[in-house]
Amino acid sequence: DAKTTQPPSMDCAEGRAANLPCNHSTISGNEYVYWYRQIHSQGPQYIIHGLKNNETNEMASLIITEDRKSSTLILPHATLRDTAVYYCIPPSVTDRGSTLGRLYFGRGTQLTVWP
């Protein structure tokens, strides 16, 4: 199963870009990388996902390295409401390519945006 490594905490000034790294060196070729965030004790919320190419949506951008061993989530203009724990997650995939149900969240990165 692919596991991830994220820094435990980061901070960022309001209005500046927040760049959150994730190492997923054991990811398989057909595994997507998903990012979620959890604000305080609410249920985690989907942000973005990608396979090989960089992705952008209304919430964030995702940059995936060419070797797919790491990715960076970018919040281009962080606000105080972006303070949350951010999780980088690849799903579990069997050798035969079918997805398993096991999911490892880890402890994520606590992002604190300060005024």
From edge to edge, which strands make up the β-sheet containing 45-50? Answer: 9-13, 109-114, 84-89, 33-38, 45-50
Binding site for another protein (CB under 8 A): 31-32, 34, 36, 38, 41-46, 49, 87, 91-93, 98-108
Please choose, from the candidates 62, 55, 48, the residue with its C-alpha nearest in 3D space to the C-alpha of residue 18.
Answer: 62
Nearer to another protein, 96 or 115 (CB): 96
* Least distance from another protein to the Cβ atom of residue 38, Å: 8
Distance CA 96, CA 18 (A): 37
* Least distance from another protein to the Cβ atom of residue 110, Å: 11
* Least distance from another protein to the Cβ atom of residue 76, Å: 22
21 neighbors 72 (Cβ within 8 angstroms):
yes
Nearer to another protein, 56 or 77 (CB): 56
